[in-house]
Each structure stands twice: as structure tokens, then as C-alpha cells.
A and B are shown apart, each in its own frame.
Chain A
């Protein structure tokens, strides 16, 4: 199903290429991105096209492809001709880097670790917050049932797991045994492990399963809008994870297609004030100081813990936690 869509995108890209060659030198970008960013980039693309037209007089076509980022990264490895990626976690771009698709220094090429916007994980609870869920330690109570996507199949789920870990790390001052006990209980409270973020949303909102849905703050706010603001409340815990949304040019493909310059212009444009403002409309947090000041009411204060500060590089995290028989496997093992 997803492959077909991706194939359609690739085919559309090729067609566009073929036609542009015949008519006029028109460039095409393929932005390969995560599942729930479809509407976001659909809003950004026309602005960039306008901007590029004013700057250079060139018209560009921008195609989008969306899916789980691990699957997207695999598609690129298997030949999807993506000029650039806009993912929701470092690991999957790192996987591309390890296979030579992305330059080694991709995180230094753009400001803020090549992450033009960020978010954090937040909770969506039912009206009136009947279980009184305020922070991560409420989620390890026996009477709380949690819904979030499977950390094995979803970047979103991986952030949630890591956020629970980091919160426990802070609560127990780094005591490994206590952290593991808490996170094990946290995983035990999970009612359903859907394979993706949107699936978890349906389980929580439409099937009425669980007391709390955990997802990106941006997504949680959108869900509340989507499913009725009166029925749900958003809880931003006092401590949570710094969830960066890294972007990179896929050098191997972009160089081959001659779109490297355009692709990096596109990524740079994500840091411009108009786009940063647009991003806050989608409930993403940004770094642009003027925009931050203007939208202060929208984003409750939260202490953001960085994975890299506590658990080491993403590569180490990937190996230690998410590898076969890693910590996640151990915590989920039969008790």
C-alpha cells in the first residue's frame, strides 16, 4: 500500500523530470518525510516556490512522500530518489549516513543540529482528566492505561519510550535499576501498541481505549482539534524530551540529479521567519526569537531533556536500547 504510493510519487517525479527536460529547464525536488507532516509541507511548499521564483526566476516542482521514517529511509536505500529528507528523528538520517547517502557532517551544516523546528512529547487525556495525569510518574501508576505507537515500528513511539526513560532518569538521579523498574512498569501499562502514530490516535479517540495518549505536542494539539476540543485536554508534563525534527540533503541523489543547491536552499528556507511562524501554527516549537516571543502563550513552559546529554549519541542509543536484545527488549521480556 505504502510502497505503491511511494512508487507513484517516484513515477510522478520521473515524469515531471522528463517533461521539464522537453519544455524548459525546470527543477523538481522530492521531499521524503514522516507520516504526519503531509499538511505541514503542503503549506510550506507554495511559499518556497514563490520565494524561489522571486529570488531566481525559476519555477520548481516539489513532490512529497510520507510514511514512517524508518520505512522511508529504507525506501531511499532501495532506490527512492529523494533529494532531501525531513524526518522526525536523527536515527533514520544516521542510517542513511552510514550507507553513504548523506554527508557525515550533515548535523553541522544547518543551525540547531539541522533541526529547523522541534517538539516534545505531551499527553492527551479525556475530558476533566479523570485519572489526574500530570507528569510521567503518573503514568506508572497501576490504574493508568496508556496508548502510544510501538517503539519498534514508529519514531514517535521511540521518542515516547525515551521520554519516559529520561523522566525516570531525572526522578531517580540516574539510578539504573530504579529507572528500569519504572520504565518496565510504564511499558506494562500500555493497552495497545499500534504500529504508527495515527493508528494510536484512532485507538484512543475512536475505540475509546486507554486513559492517556502520548504523542508529539504538535500532534496532540491537532488531535484535540480534530476530535472535539471539549472532549479532550492536552497535558504538557513539566519535564519531557527534546524531540528534534532533523532535515538533510540526500547528497548522493541530489548531486546525481543536480538539485543539491536547490535542496539546500529549501532546507535553509525552513529557518526563515515566515516559515517559522507557519510552523507554530502547526503547534511545532521553533528557535526564531521573535516568533518564540510572539507565540509564548501557545507553548507551556517545559524542561526539555536531550537524549544526547544523558544517553550518548543516537547511534549508541539505537544500539543499546532498540537493537535486538537491547534494553527495550529486556524490559518487555517476560516477567
Chain B
């Protein structure tokens, strides 16, 4: 039984699952335009009022460049932490059954559900020099809240779900039989993990970590509470955008925002391309 007409198959090769494809496709495009493309255009238009030299001087201002550095380095460490912790959490959640598992599973989404400002305030309370956790670090002479480590902690909190949720379905697919096969062939647990499981997880892990990284670049709410916001030390790019708006300097704010936007877009495309290539390879395309 042939459901797709040959003419359509030229453009859309997949078998349609939803009925009324043209309508749903049109609605999707409309929605994407309204919610994503229109604001994007507005942003770029706003920034396009200025000359190229002006634009350059705004986005390459010493203090702004310092915020890029701080943001990117903190986001890097936050996503590294999340890559390790997220893998651990996903592993525990998929492979083991224990009381409170569904609660822990639900907790993984908390950073998405919570307003980031709440996260910022809570983390600051915890990690301040007189907080429950902060006091122990303080004794060791490590300052977390109002210092660089605070930014990393805030970023890893708000972006953890990306890694966990990217890994979970893949882990569920793999199942323990791969490891068991490896064991019967004489591999140790460590070898089985490094040579059998991890390669399967790698694409999901990289995607999740990259998404966590991208998200961390733009994080604002959680960070401004915990960072201390000292120029050149703990000022992140999103705060710089906010500061320029407070100065009624909307063009400068949009210029800096466009840099963040561009960086995020490029990273997303890279992840997407890489993922596509990988999928092609494993499907033998």
C-alpha cells in the first residue's frame, strides 16, 4: 500500500506520522517565526544601527572581553563537572533500582523547573563563608560565594539536566548485555566501560555537555547573586548586557547580546552537524 504520492516523496522522504502535514508544517513554521526568528531579527536590527567600528569597539571593550573570558572559562569547568556527574547520575538512575529512585529522577529536572534566581539565592546562602557548606571551605581558605568558583557552581547547577537527560535514553538502549558479553570475552569492568560502554555513550555525552556549555554562556539569574560582580574578576557577559541597558545604552547591550547569540548559534550548529555525521556513520549511510 503506497501512502505517499511520488511527487511529495521528492521533498519529504519520511513517511508522515501526523495527518494533515501541510497544516502542521505551516503552523510550526509560523510558531518558529513568531517565537524565535522575529525576536532574533529585532535584535540584529537594533544592533545594525551602529557602524562597524562602533560595534567593534563595544564588543571588544577591555571589560567586555574580560567577561567573555570569565564566562567561557567558568562554563567550560561547569560543563566538565556536569559531564562527569551527569554520566554518574544517569548511570545510577538507569542501571540500579533503589528506594527513592523516582524521586531522584524527578529531582534531576529541578534546575529547569526552578527560577534561576531562586537557585542563585539558595546556592549563595549555602556557599557563603558563613553558610552550611561554605564555612568548611572557608576554613580551608577557599572562597566560593562571591568568587569565581561560585559562578562555576551556579552554572553547573542550572545546566546539569542537559547531560543527564541526554544520556538516560541511550543508556537504557544499551542495556547490560554489552558489558556481559565483554566480560565473557575476558574484559575487566574497567575495560568494559572504557572500550564498550563509553564509545556508545560518547555522542549523547558530547551533545549534552555542549548544550550545558551553551546554556551556561547565557546564564544570568543564578550567577548575579553568587558572583560578587567585580569587574575583571567575577563579572559575566549577561550582567554586562544588563548593565548597558541600565545605562540606557540599548544599542551597546544588543551588540554584546549579538555576540552571545552568535556564539550559541555557531556552537549549536557544530553540535548538530557533528551529530548528523555520527548518526550517518552508525546507520551506515
Q: Identify A324's interface contact among B115, B125, B242, B249, CB under 8 A.
A: B249
Q: Identify A207's interface contact among B63, B66, B130, CB under 8 A.
A: B130
Q: For A333, give the chain B residue with the smallest CB separation.
A: B62
A153 at the interface (CB under 8 A from B): yes
| B69 smallest CB distance to A (angstroms) | 11
Chain B residues whose C-beta falls within 8 Å of the C-beta of A209 in the assembled complex: 128-129, 146
Chain B residues whose C-beta falls within 8 Å of the C-beta of A190 in the assembled complex: 230
In the complex, the answer to whether B124 meets A207 with C-beta atoms within 8 Å is yes
Q: Given that A152-B246, A208-B129 are known contacts, is A192 also in contact with B66, CB under 8 Å in the complex?
A: no
Q: Given that A207-B124, A322-B247 are known contacts, is A332 also in contact with B231, CB under 8 Å in the complex?
A: yes
| A95 smallest CB distance to B (angstroms) | 6
Q: For A199, give the chain B residue with the smallest CB separation.
A: B225
Q: Identify A74's interface contact among B146, B228, B229, B245, CB under 8 A.
A: B245
B contact residues, total (Cβ < 8 Å): 32
| A62 smallest CB distance to B (angstroms) | 27
Q: Given that A153-B242, A153-B243 are known contacts, is A325 also in contact with B130, CB under 8 Å in the complex?
A: no
Q: Given that A153-B242, A207-B130, A333-B63 are known contacts, is A323 also in contact with B247, CB under 8 Å in the complex?
A: yes
C-alpha gap A71/B243 in the complex (Å): 11
| B62 smallest CB distance to A (angstroms) | 6
B232 at the interface (CB under 8 A from A): yes
C-alpha gap A44/B242 in the complex (Å): 33
C-alpha gap A199/B244 in the complex (Å): 20
C-alpha gap A199/B246 in the complex (Å): 17
B25 at the interface (CB under 8 A from A): no
C-alpha gap A329/B235 in the complex (Å): 13
Q: Given that A152-B243, A324-B247 are known contacts, is A334 also in contact with B62, CB under 8 Å in the complex?
A: yes
Chain B residues whose C-beta falls within 8 Å of the C-beta of A193 in the assembled complex: 228-230
Question: What sequence of 0s and 1s flags, for each residue 64-89 of chain B, a beta carbon within 8 Å of any chain A beta carbon?
Answer: 00100000000000000000000000
B108 at the interface (CB under 8 A from A): no
C-alpha gap A195/B231 in the complex (Å): 13
A65 at the interface (CB under 8 A from B): no
| A143 smallest CB distance to B (angstroms) | 17
Which residues of chain B from 199 to 243 have a CB within 8 Å of any chain A CB? 224-225, 228-232, 239, 242-243
In the complex, the answer to whether B146 meets A1 with C-beta atoms within 8 Å is no
Q: For B225, give the chain A residue with the smallest CB separation.
A: A199
A150 at the interface (CB under 8 A from B): yes
In the complex, the answer to whether B228 meets A191 with C-beta atoms within 8 Å is yes
Chain B residues whose C-beta falls within 8 Å of the C-beta of A334 in the assembled complex: 62, 66, 232
Chain B residues whose C-beta falls within 8 Å of the C-beta of A277 in the assembled complex: none
Chain B residues whose C-beta falls within 8 Å of the C-beta of A150 in the assembled complex: 229, 243
Chain B residues whose C-beta falls within 8 Å of the C-beta of A322 in the assembled complex: 247
Q: Given that A152-B246, A153-B243, A323-B247 are known contacts, is A1 also in contact with B230, CB under 8 Å in the complex?
A: no
